[in-house]
Structure 1
Amino acid sequence: MLYWGDMSFILLIPAMIFAIYAQGKVKTTFDRYLRVRNSRGYTGMQVARRILDSQGLYDVPIELTGGHLSDHYDPRKKVLRLSNAVYNGSSVASVGVAAHEVGHAIQHAKGYAPLMIRNFIAPIASFGSQAAWFLFVIGLMFPATGMMDIGILFFLVAVLFQIITLPVEFNASNRAIGLLENQGLLSSGELVPTKKVLQAAALTYVAATVVALSQLLRLLMIRGRRD
C-alpha cells in the first residue's frame, strides 16, 4: 500500500503538523496586525506604488484581486496583484505584505538569480508535482517500466522548486523591510509587527519545503524496499 497501509506514511506526520501550525500562524498573525493602523495612514496600494516608482518601475501596474492572502507579483505580465485587505487596508500588515510583493517585482527587474531559476523551473515543477505520483504508482505495478524512477525525478524537480523558493521569499521580505524603513513609510515601532507578519508568512514556505522533502524521502524508501 502506498498511503495509510504503508508505514512510511509516519514520516509525513511531523511535517504535516508543522504545515498546519504554519498556516495557522500566518493567519492569526496577519489578522492580528490587520487591525493595527499604520501612523502614516498609507494603504497597501499607496505604499506599493511609492516603492515601485522609487525603483523606476513605473510600468508595473497594481491590480485588485479577490481572495484572502492571495497577494502576488505576476512575472509573466509584470503585474502586482493585491487582495482587498492589502490594497485598501492601512494596517501595518497591509503595508508589509504590499511591500513584500513589491520586493518580488524588484527582484524581477534586477534579474535576481534565485527568482529567475524559480520562474524557469516553475512549469516543470507544476507538471512534475502532478505527474510524479501517477508515474510512481505505475512503476509500483509494473517495475520493469522504470516509471518509478521517472516519477521520483519529476517529484525531485518539485522539491527543488520549493527549496529555491526560500531565498526568494526571504530576500523579498528583507527588501520590503529595508525600503519601508529607508523611505520612512513606517515608524521604527511599526517595523517590529511588520516583520512578524512577514516572518509568519515565510514559515509557510519553510513548512512546504519540509513536507516536500518528507514526501521525497518516503518515495525513496518505498523504492528501496522494491529493490
Structure 2
Amino acid sequence: MTGIEALWVPIDRKVNKSQLVNAAVDHNNDNLYIGRAKFMRDLIPGKVSSDLKSIRICYDGKEYSLDNFEVLVNDVNFIWIEASNGDVPKNAVIGGRAEDGETLYVARAKYLFLTIPGKLHPSHKSAYVPFDSKELAVKTYEVLVRLESNGEALKPKPEKLVSPGFEWVRFIKKSGWPENAVVGGSGYDGVQQMDQYIARAKHDTNVIIGYAYKDGIFYGTFNGIEIRTERYELFVKT
C-alpha cells in the first residue's frame, strides 16, 4: 500500500476555512474539517469543529476532545474513495501513525445518517470514528485520496456507506417517491406543515446531509451557503 503526505498546519496559525478539507457536517449541519492530534504515543486524524476550537479523535474505545492540533490544507485533487476491511486505495492521504509505527490514513464513515471523519487503521481491517464519547469501528468507509495527474487513475465508486436496515436511494421524479423514506423533521411552507425527509447531495467533492420535501428539491448548507438541487438521494428504510 502506498500513501502520500499532505500539508498540515498548526491551528494556532491564522487559517481560512476555505483552505481546509470540509469532510462532512454534524447533527447541527455545521461543517466538520480534517485535523490530527498527538495523543498518548499516537498521531491520530479526526474531526475538527466548525469554530476550529477543538478536534475530536478516538483511541482505545473512547472519544477525546483536544485543543492542540493541526488541520489539513485542501488540495484540488483530493477526492473520497470507498473501501472496506482495511483496504487502502492508492495515493491515500497519510493522517498519522500508531505507537507501533503503523500508518493511519484519513477516513470517514457513515453512522446513522451522519458522515463522521476519523482514521483508517489497516491492520485492524477497520476505520474508526469518534461519536457520542465512543470509538466506533466501521468496516465500510471512505478514504481521502489525491488523484493522479491524469485524473483517471482513481475514480470514486458510487457511495454505499449506510447503516444496517437502511439504504440511500436516488430520487428520480418520474419513478415516484421511494417508499419508506425516513422523515427527519418538519417545516412550514407558508400554507401547511410538511414532512422533511433525510437526504444527501454531492457538492464539489463533498457529500452534504440535508432534507427534501416530498417530490421537491434538496436543501442543505455548505460553508454557510444554502445549496439547492434536484439531484439527490433519500435515506430509506429497507
> Which of structures 1 and 2 has the larger relative contact order (alpha carbons within 8 angstroms, sep 6+)?
1
- TM-score, normalized by the shorter chain, greater than 0.5: no
Between Structure 1 and Structure 2, the one with more helix by share is 1
The structure having more radius of gyration, on CA atoms, is 1
TM-score for the superposition, normalised by structure 2: 0.24
Between Structure 1 and Structure 2, the one with more strand by share is 2
TM-score for the superposition, normalised by structure 1: 0.25
